[in-house]
Amino acid sequence: MNEIDIQEVVAEKVIPYGFDIIGAVVMLVLGWLIAGWAYKRIKRWGEKTEKMDSTLTPLLAKIVRILILAATLLAVLSKFGFETTSLIALLGAAGLTIGLAMQGTLSNVASGVMLLSFRPFEVGDFVSITGITGIVDEVGLFMTKMHTLDNIFIIVPNSRIWGAEIMNFSRNETRRVDMVFGISYTDDIDKAIRLIKEELSAEERVLKEPEPLVAVGELGDSSVDLWVRPWTKRVDFFATKLDLTKKIKQRFDKEGITIPFPQRDVHLYKTNGSGD
């Protein structure tokens, strides 16, 4: 091969491929730098904003980084003549197979992302979820950890939580205390209502607004049931309910208001032996 042939080979083969290799290296470096920049930018944004949970921010940053790197790799392969369409289809089929095999796990992850994004409850909240009542200890991507009021540890998969009815007792600052006091049919209803209102007024934890409700709720089989509905701050709910129950009972005893036991009137009829 003479010198002219070598120059032609270099001009036709080596130089174009050399430029392609240099271009591919540049694309890889740029893709790597952009992926790192996006990763740091999303993490910094997640740390500053209150709308993004601290557990979700690293996951979102990693997903964006992986997507940028994957797009860069596909672009480099396409530059060298690879059929990226077939590769994408193959990766999609593999992803579908893996997704079907890990359907339950992915469902928990998807539910965890939704919980961390919309935050229907936070760590420390007192909630009732799918019949489980307790205090939230940790909200993760796969499961939520809780403990009951008697300190029993519970793990609930996120897929069972998302889409279910969630009662959050800690979200609002105030709560209504619902109580029922039954008095005898022979007792003075107005006097009993006045005594209850006096106890509510003397209790500092009972809020003036909204105004407490004290009224005749039902006429039961054995008692006249008085509905008592005061409002209090969320943190004072249980203590206020327990203390008011005790104080109103003691005040009724002192003032002669009775709380009757369940009773029935039995009527006996005497008949003759003929069955008439």
Q: What pLDDT score was predicted for residue 203?
A: 94
Concatenated DSSP letters of the chain:
--HHHHHHHIIIIIHHHHHHHHHHHHHHHHHHHHHHHHHHHHHHHHHH-SSS-TTHHHHHHHHHHHHHHHHHHHHHHHHTT--HHHHHHHHHHHHHHHHHHTHHHHHHHHHHHHHHHH-SS-TT-EEEETTEEEEEEEE-SSEEEEE-TT--EEEEEHHHHTTS-EEETTSSSEEE--EEEEE-TTS-HHHHHHHHHHHHHH-TTB-SSSPPEEEEEEE-SS-EEEEEE-EEEGGGHHHHHHHHHHHHHHHHHHHT---PPP----------TT--
Q: What pLDDT score was predicted for residue 191?
A: 96
Fold held by 174-255: Alpha-Beta Plaits (3.30.70)
Q: What ranges do the domains of the chain cover? A: 3-101, 120-168, 174-255
Q: One digit per residue, pLDDT tens: the chain, 276 residues?
A: 445 554 454 455 555 566 667 777 777 788 888 888 888 887 777 777 666 666 566 767 777 888 888 888 777 777 666 666 666 666 666 665 555 444 556 788 888 888 877 888 888 999 998 888 999 998 887 889 999 989 999 999 988 898 888 999 999 999 999 999 999 999 999 999 999 999 999 999 999 999 999 999 999 888 999 999 999 999 999 999 999 999 999 999 999 999 887 766 677 777 665 555
Q: What pLDDT score was predicted for residue 215?
A: 96
- Domain at 120-168, CATH from 3.30.450.20, 3.30.70.2190, 3.40.630.10, 2.30.30.60: 2.30.30.60
Fold held by 3-101: Helix Hairpins (1.10.287)
Residue 23 CA neighbour count, 13 Å, CB half:
12
* Contact present, 142 and 181 (Cβ < 8 Å): no
